[in-house]
Structure 1
Amino acid sequence: MKYLLFYKPYGVLCQFTDNSDHPRSTLKDYISIPEIYPVGRLDRDSEGLLLLTNNGQLQNRLANPKFAHPRTYYVQVEGIPDESVLDRLRNGVIIKNYRTRKAKVRLLSPEPNLPPRMPPIRDRQSIPTCWLEMILTEGKNRQVRRMTAAVGFPTLRLVRVSIGGNGIKLDLTNLNPGESRELSANETKALLNFK
């Protein structure tokens, strides 16, 4: 079995093929291991940690909402939310007639040390930005972006920095955008025992 961590850059599709009229960058441009697939997804305009494997049973377990495994994101938002806004995010917000699960949310200060995004986000002098750490246990389509928009603080940049908890935490340590590495024996053992 293969287990790979990949730092997905901005603008890369979270799939190996693109059948559009204007082909875009895909995982195939970075990963040459055959028959390996991402566990979960990151939108094209999101960055960060992606786990890939050919272990279908593990993929199903990690993708199943009932296991509620944590995913940690660093989120740059437009504006600076106060504690009441953060509480709304923590307690779940309504997006598309669905209330999100409770989340752990905090302001990050100082801002995280991340590689610059290419292209950089727009910079508007009159509107401040800040970074949040959001830990979710579900992964609905564009959920983080929809959550911050629902409380009036649009997401400018979104980076998944880690996956897991309860004995296993996979993160971006020693990876730059576009780089990947195989899991260590200890990481693989912990991942396979992850409940």
Structure 2
Amino acid sequence: MSRLILFNKPFGVLSQFTDSKSPTERATLSEFIAIKGVYPAGRLDRDSEGLLLLTDDGRLQARIADPRFKMPKTYLVQVEGDPQDADLEPLRTGVRLKDGMTLPAEVVRIDAPDLWPRNPPIRERKSVPDSWLRITIREGRNRQVRRMTAAVGLPTLRLVRWSIGDWTVEGIAPGAFAETSA
């Protein structure tokens, strides 16, 4: 039976067990997960939070991470600005980035979700409104959601991966994990 770990990755933590590239110590998965033989299925940027899946099954890892399988990944995204439906339409049809067109995303404006506080908190400006979106993509390009929102004039302030396929971070505190069978 495959092991599958659902980890709520805090802001500032690398999606790997060691950090050999930085002369200063940065937080890694090893500070939170002491289970041998599991590896991340995909990545989540250091400045992003939320669901990171880890497994000991190479096939499952590939099925989750490989864009060929188009596994949906849903993000709760706080953006700068007050987007209307027309502003979100380019995200729904595909956005041209430097590395080509993205696949269409599912995008809905949502009320501010009841999330844990982020440490450090995001920078808030009284003169600039912010909004929350729920964005589901089926690719996994580097910093894709941030690049997509920036391309349509909505810079990302906070990015929380909420789910991958049917797996969700709901009910898992930042820095904690739950184990389930795949």
Instruction: Check whether TM > 0.5.
Output: yes
State the SS of the aligned residue for 2:30: helix
Aligned to 1:171: 168
State the SS of the aligned residue for 2:35: coil
Aligned to 2:96: 94
1:116-158 per-position Cα deviation (integer Å, ceiling 9, x unaligned): 1000000100000000000000110000000000001100000
What CA distance in whole angstroms lies between the structure 2 residues aligned with 1:138 and 1:58?
Answer: 17
1:30-63 per-position Cα deviation (integer Å, ceiling 9, x unaligned): 0001121111110000000011001001111222
> Percent identity of the aligned residues?
54
Task: Give the CA deviation at 1:173.
Answer: 2.1
What CA distance in whole angstroms lies between the structure 1 residues aligned with 2:168 and 2:105?
Answer: 19
1:173 is matched by which residue type in structure 2? E
Aligned to 2:55: 53
Matched residues, number: 180
Q: TM-score, normalised by structure 2?
A: 0.96
The structure 1 segments of at least 4 consecutive aligned residues displaced by more than 4 Å after TM superposition are none
What CA distance in whole angstroms lies between the structure 2 residues aligned with 1:118 and 1:35?
Answer: 29
Task: Give the CA deviation at 1:65.
Answer: 1.4
Task: Give the CA deviation at 1:97.
Answer: 3.8
State the SS of the aligned residue for 2:59: helix
What CA distance in whole angstroms lies between the structure 1 residues aligned with 2:33 and 2:23?
Answer: 23
1:66-100 per-position Cα deviation (integer Å, ceiling 9, x unaligned): 21010100000000111112110111101114100
Aligned to 1:72: 74
Aligned to 1:192: none
State the SS of the aligned residue for 1:149: helix
Tell me, which stretches of 5 or more residues in structure 2 are unaligned? none
2:179 is aligned, of 175, 178, 182, to: 182
What CA distance in whole angstroms lies between the structure 1 residues aligned with 2:76 and 2:10?
Answer: 14
Q: Which moved more, 1:58-67 or 1:136-145?
A: 58-67
Matched, 1:131 2:128: no
What CA distance in whole angstroms lies between the structure 2 residues aligned with 1:173 and 1:108?
Answer: 17
1:179 is matched by which residue type in structure 2? A
Aligned to 1:140: 141
Q: TM-score, normalised by structure 1?
A: 0.90
What CA distance in whole angstroms lies between the structure 1 residues aligned with 2:78 and 2:55?
Answer: 29
Tell me, which stretches of 5 or more residues in structure 1 are unaligned? 189-195
